[in-house]
């Protein structure tokens, strides 16, 4: 995606009340989160679902973070379980194009407490934050075809296939006019 956000612009700010609900709290990532994020991303059961499944070294994570800080089209969050504020994963809104009112959502990792609806809650919360906080009208997501849990979560939130059925990864889209069901997976 391209558009109206230049390199000199700051990251978009999403009002904090849009980042919390009864299930999860999304908090912007910081330097103190990097090692925890790297450990999660390097887990065998998680990295297989990323386009680049190689192990990430400390220097690579730090270089990624420096680039992330300078990128105004990318906001990433730590997903915290609301019940105890325990960090359980990550999610991002990225490729943000405020002029075109488009963005992508993903990089969802639930490393702790899987199967308890936290993935659904994190994705749902991020989508609402993008729509209500950034004025986004279309969200895109890509999921590897074998990632049944992510496909189920995306469909439960309301994402619909947007590419050819044989595409890898599977491309999905959520538009503002789609109804966001509030049921859990």
What was the pLDDT predicted at 38? 95
What was the pLDDT predicted at 21? 94
What was the pLDDT predicted at 66? 96
- Confidence band (pLDDT; 50, 70, 90) for 179? low
What was the pLDDT predicted at 9? 77
- Confidence band (pLDDT; 50, 70, 90) for 166? confident
The answer to whether residue 181 scores a pLDDT higher than 60 is no
State the average pLDDT over residues 64-88.
Answer: 96
Q: CA 99 to CA 39: how far, in whole Å? A: 35
Give the N- to C-terminal CA distance of the chain in Å, as an integer.
Answer: 30
State the average pLDDT over residues 163-178.
Answer: 84
Q: What are the pLDDT digits (tens) for 114-159?
A: 888 999 999 999 999 999 999 999 999 999 888 899 999 999 999 9
C-beta atoms surrounding 151 within 10 Å: 18
pTM summary value: 0.88
- Confidence band (pLDDT; 50, 70, 90) for 1? very low
C-beta atoms surrounding 119 within 10 Å: 28
Average confidence score pLDDT of the chain: 89
- Confidence band (pLDDT; 50, 70, 90) for 2? very low
What was the pLDDT predicted at 141? 96
Between 36 and 115, residue with greater pLDDT: 36
The residue behind tokens 């296939």 is: 161
Strand positions, DSSP E, 82-169: 87-97, 102-110, 138-143, 160-161
């Amino acid at each position: 995606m391209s558009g109206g956000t230049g390199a000199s612009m700051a990251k978009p700010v999403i009002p904090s009340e849009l980042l919390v609900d009864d299930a999860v709290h999304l908090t912007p990532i910081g330097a103190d989160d990097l090692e925890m994020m790297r450990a999660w991303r390097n887990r065998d059961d998680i990295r297989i679902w990323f386009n680049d499944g190689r192990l990430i070294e400390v220097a690579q994570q730090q270089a990624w973070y420096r680039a992330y800080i300078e990128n105004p089209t990318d906001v990433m969050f730590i997903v915290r379980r609301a019940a105890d504020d325990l960090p359980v994963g990550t999610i991002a809104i990225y490729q943000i194009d405020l002029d075109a009112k488009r963005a992508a959502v993903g990089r969802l990792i639930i490393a702790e407490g899987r199967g308890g609806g936290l993935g659904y809650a994190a994705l749902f919360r991020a989508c609402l934050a993008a729509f209500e906080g950034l004025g986004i009208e279309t969200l895109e997501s890509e999921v590897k075809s074998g990632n049944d849990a992510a496909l189920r979560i995306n469909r439960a939130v309301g994402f619909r296939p947007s590419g050819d059925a044989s595409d890898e990864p599977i491309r999905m889209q959520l538009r503002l006019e789609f109804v966001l069901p509030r049921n859990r997976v």
